[in-house]
Structure 1
């Protein structure tokens, strides 16, 4: 019985891997839908990020302004949610990104070795993905938590750095939350001032408390998916280290980004799209890293790329990755400084993570996913 189950599962895995490299499996990778593009949310995200960078520049906190920007990035989440629902979920996200950066900072301040860092950040990736899935949160996903933790681990050298990075992230998250809820808060203030009553939004069932949503989540299934991401992240980082790459956390993030989709075909599409976007984005990043931009020049570029990434996120993930790659490298360079060659490292590390993510997703594919993959050629 066990041998037959194992054989069937391995057969599903090999079929899924074969599907990943067929024209039918890759169909749709370059599809774009500009009809889904919007400006309101991207501009609000851009404003939130710009505000925290301006505060960081004026106060001389250039090295930690990036953490505040990651906190402000919660404004990119929960786009489809009614504002009352969005408020609670954004609060959870703000707490989560602040905790993630705190965990990374503690790892750095205590001088943890690369193996412990990889293990902790991989578990963090799985836990963050679980939380995002359980609360039905739409947005950049768990990779933001991983990026923040990895950056904080490199930055923090003592307890003071831990406190500073956590404090600025929390402040940035508050600004991001205000930016995301600005239209709603403005409407409430206007109605109170004019003493009018707003008509209740539709979708009462979607207004259930966060704890109720968590209780309703399919915990066993989501836990299994979170474990898969943890394993893929750790394995991606380990392979990157074995190959002598200098940034194994980028491989970890590549695996997480590829696997945070729902189905196997989404993992394949996101992986290929992220790789294509990283190659194009790396060219832009290398050019910008070679220029003497300074803090304010880098900030302008980061804000522009952030807005473009948010616009492209609903159009095509490859286009989104073209903007995300230089933005992420410029963000990292604010605290650590990067040479243009880091753009090549980004592509190589990310490629390792993506391949590992697709392989792990295939090896651990569920029966439902395997049937869906088998049906796709016929469709």
Structure 2
């Protein structure tokens, strides 16, 4: 008896490569994200501290949570995720100060599992460990002095606080106050947290993904092993294995398109202000499409990451872009292998 994935056309449809889901007021989430991330980065750049842009941007990543939640639920969620991201950023800088690729890989795997459990228990939306893995991986990837630790904490905390305020700004406008919001979710009990179907497989995937991807990328001489680690956990949030494999495919093709776009932008050697503006436009693009078509969103996510990387540390765009694509494909392949290994029955879901 044929399954729903028995033909190429059915596979394409199941993977959602051509699907564009409803808009659902995504422009408001995009505007909040741009204001939340853009202002802290602009401040550190104005102070002449481009080296602090990563801390500012990751601190503001709590703005990406609770886009459809009621204001009270969003306040709770963004306060919790803000504190969590500040902790992750600070941990990354501490690891960088200690030094050691393998310590960074091990710590990233620990953060991956911890974030997965906390996000499930607290019912954060979006779920998963993507942002935390990205933050700890990036912040631990370049050498830091111990004196940078309190600076990173302060910068990321300031950005997180600003994002919480931006997240509540809709109260200032009648349309924002009156629009229907989804109620907050109840926290899971211990039995629900650990007893749900697939949790054990997910725990294994969230632990093994960063370790395997980071180890292989580092052994192969990759300049940014954390990009492979991020791509190994990025597909793990789908409701079924089909959705998860689709997310991995979306990430690869979106990254390829995004790298080409980034190279086109950097070929003109834009100044700091122009680079920041383009990065924020990429952020807006990502938020406009992340719930509608993940591949289209990654076309924006990739220039955002590469341009922020360029602001923090100047490098050869072609080399960095190639590394981004190769390590993304490597991480996605490892993620797919873990999805198949840990949740084989879901492939027909």
TM > 0.5 fold call: yes
Q: 1:160 to 1:320 in 2, by over 3 A?
A: same
Task: Give the superposition deviation at 1:155.
Answer: 4.3
Which 5+ residue runs of structure 2 have no aligned equivalent? none
2:149 to 147, 162, 174: 162
The equivalent residue for 2:36 is: 48
Whole-angstrom distance in 2 between the partners of 1:294 and 1:159: 30
The answer to whether structure 1 residue 307 and structure 2 residue 284 are counterparts is: yes
Task: Give the superposition deviation at 1:90.
Answer: 0.9
Alpha-carbon contact 1:278-1:347 (below 8 Å) kept: yes
Alpha-carbon contact 2:256-2:325 (below 8 Å) kept: yes
The equivalent residue for 1:24 is: 10
Alpha-carbon contact 2:117-2:193 (below 8 Å) kept: no
Secondary structure at 2:238's aligned position in 1?
coil
Q: 1:249 to 1:20 in 2, by over 3 A?
A: farther
Over residues 90-121 of structure 1, what are the superposed CA-to-partner deviations in whole Å (9 max), with x where a residue is unaligned? 1110011111111110111112x211211111
Which 5+ residue runs of structure 1 have no aligned equivalent? 1-15, 189-197
Alpha-carbon contact 1:289-1:339 (below 8 Å) kept: no
Task: Give the superposition deviation at 1:165.
Answer: 1.1
Q: 1:363 to 1:146 in 2, by over 3 A?
A: same
Q: TM-score, normalised by structure 2?
A: 0.88
Q: After superposition, where does 1:259-298 map in structure 2 within 5 Å?
A: 259-298=236-275
The answer to whether structure 1 residue 336 and structure 2 residue 313 are counterparts is: yes
RMSD: 2.7
Whole-angstrom distance in 1 between the partners of 2:324 and 2:117: 26
The equivalent residue for 1:9 is: none
Task: Give the superposition deviation at 1:292.
Answer: 2.3
The answer to whether structure 1 residue 346 and structure 2 residue 324 are counterparts is: yes
Q: TM-score, normalised by structure 1?
A: 0.82
Whole-angstrom distance in 1 between the partners of 2:249 and 2:343: 18
Task: Give the superposition deviation at 1:203.
Answer: 7.5
Task: Give the superposition deviation at 1:230.
Answer: 1.5
Alpha-carbon contact 1:52-1:68 (below 8 Å) kept: yes
Whole-angstrom distance in 2 between the partners of 1:278 and 1:103: 28
Task: Give the superposition deviation at 1:79.
Answer: 1.4
Q: After superposition, where does 1:1-379 map in structure 2 within 5 Å?
A: 23-27=9-13, 28-33=16-21, 35-36=23-24, 38-111=26-99, 113-139=100-126, 141-184=128-171, 186=172, 206=184, 212-213=187-188, 215=190, 217-221=192-196, 222=199, 224-340=201-317, 341-365=319-343, 370=345, 372-374=346-348
Over residues 228-256 of structure 1, what are the superposed CA-to-partner deviations in whole Å (9 max), with x where a residue is unaligned? 21101211122223333222111111111
Task: Give the superposition deviation at 1:30.
Answer: 2.2
Q: 1:265 to 1:156 in 2, by over 3 A?
A: same
Whole-angstrom distance in 2 between the partners of 1:50 and 1:244: 33
Secondary structure at 1:218's aligned position in 2?
helix
Secondary structure at 1:292's aligned position in 2?
coil
Count of aligned pairs: 338
Alpha-carbon contact 1:25-1:265 (below 8 Å) kept: no
